[in-house]
Amino acid sequence: MSEPDRVGASQEAAAASPPDDRPRCGWATGSAPDYLVYHDEEWGVPLRGIAAMFERISLEAFQSGLSWLTILRKRPAFRSAFAGFDPAVVARYDEDDVVRLLGDRGIVRNRRKIEATLHNARAVLDLDVPLDELVWSFAPDPTGRTRPATPADVPAVSPESTAMAKELKRRGLRFVGPTTCYALMQAVGIVDDHVLGCWRAR
């Protein structure tokens, strides 16, 4: 979700009031409370751990074509449906599980995305390096980056996200295009795209 879901945020406008007067990225204010909490507590916070990274990759894939708000609100159901995104468990899911998941109204019921999640779990187990280490290996040099002044300055892709997408695909993962990979980099703190003046800007 590049600068979380500008479309989804605009659709939910005027639904929340910031709890304080700290300056924030525009997408987090005047929008759904879910965005505010996500902005303040998660977006851009460095994330480690194989299961945690697998969850983020999976949710970014499910978000494709949808509002990130939809995914946020369904995240508890996703975690339940996919065994906390433990790739060792998800890798053992079979066609019966696909059918079960397609009937689960708590998640996004898209067969291609569900099957890709199962496939990706198996690909993660086949990696010769932990998933989170692989993803973080594409971190850009922070000294060469300029903090975005406005949302219009936030890119949708980068050379690093393009390289990450190519490598993840080479290693067998699906639904990992350059835009999805850049959104992942933002979400897990590999890049810090909080705009100039936001209290969360590092």
Residues involved in catalysis: 38, 60, 68
Q: Do 106 and 71 meet the contact criterion of CB atoms below 8 Å apart?
A: no
Q: Please calculate the CA angle 36-65-57 and round it to the nearest 5 degrees.
A: 70
Distance of CA 64 to the CA centre of its chain: 10
Residue 75 buriedness (CB in 10 A; 0-12 / 13-18 / 19+): middle
CA-to-CA distance for 148 and 159, rounded, in angstroms? Answer: 17
Distance of CA 99 to the CA centre of its chain: 25
Segment holding 160, helix H or strand E: helix 159-170
